[in-house]
Amino acid sequence: MIKIGIIVGSTRPGRNGEAVARWVHDHAVRRGDAHYELIDLKDYDLPHLDEPLAAATGVYEHPHTKRWSDTIADFDGFVFVTPEYNHSTTGALKTAIDFLFAEWHDKAAGVVGYGVSGGVRAAEHLRQVLGQVKVADVQVAVELLMHADFENFTTFKPAAHQEDMLSKLLDQVVSWSTALRPLRV
């Protein structure tokens, strides 16, 4: 069965990303078409890049990098849940991606963004980064607006149409992850 990791892209205290990622996960597991698992960057406590060699070498010295490598290598695709900070994704998510290289190759990903503008610029930037590590990003994205999908900008209450967009995103992530599987074997 295809394995899809749902990555919580914020480590900030009081973040909205955890509630959004749980919504993605809860919706996804009801589908029964893949194995879905939450991956919270907060649980990995990755520092700013501290490996002496570039990630492209695949030679890792630190236990936190080896643990992160083992986690990401185990998945066929991803859903990245990212807020938009200053027209981009979070530093923590960018660092987590930069820690590895080959572990990302030939996998599919979708983006669920949230922010004042629905996280569209964070998603756009994230797509550029993912392309460099050979992740195929799917066309559909979920754009959650702080004024429409969050009560008082803090309590996540997605509008009804967001679940339909999430279903379309998951359809594409699963189908692309399946299609890319022969490249990963």
- Checking if the pLDDT of 137 tops 90, the result is yes
Residues 138-153: tens digit of each pLDDT = 999 999 999 999 999 9
Q: Is residue 113 a contact partner of residue 150, using CB atoms and an 8 Å limit?
A: no
Percent share of the chain, pLDDT over 70: 100
Q: What is the pTM of this model?
A: 0.97
Q: What is the mean pLDDT of residues 22-29?
A: 98
- Check residue 69 and give its pLDDT: 98
SS3 91: helix
Do the beta carbons of residue 138 and residue 166 sit within 8 Å? no
**Using one digit for the tens of pLDDT, what is the confidence trace for 78-130?**
999 999 999 999 999 999 999 999 999 999 999 999 999 999 999 999 999 99
pLDDT at residue 13, rounded to an integer: 94
Over residues 25-53, the mean pLDDT reads 97
Contact 65, 99 (CB under 8 A): yes
Query: Quick check: 185 pLDDT over 90?
Result: no
Under a CB-based contact definition with an 8 Å cutoff, are residues 3 and 35 in contact?
yes
- CATH number of the domain within which 175 lies: 3.40.50.360
Dump pLDDT digits (tens) for 51-68: 999 999 999 999 999 999
Total tally of structural domains belonging to the chain: 1
Q: What is the residue-averaged pLDDT of the chain?
A: 97
Distance CA 153, CA 145 (A): 9
Residue 21 in contact with residue 144, Cβ under 8 Å? no
Per the structure, the complete domain to which residue 61 belongs is given by: 3-184
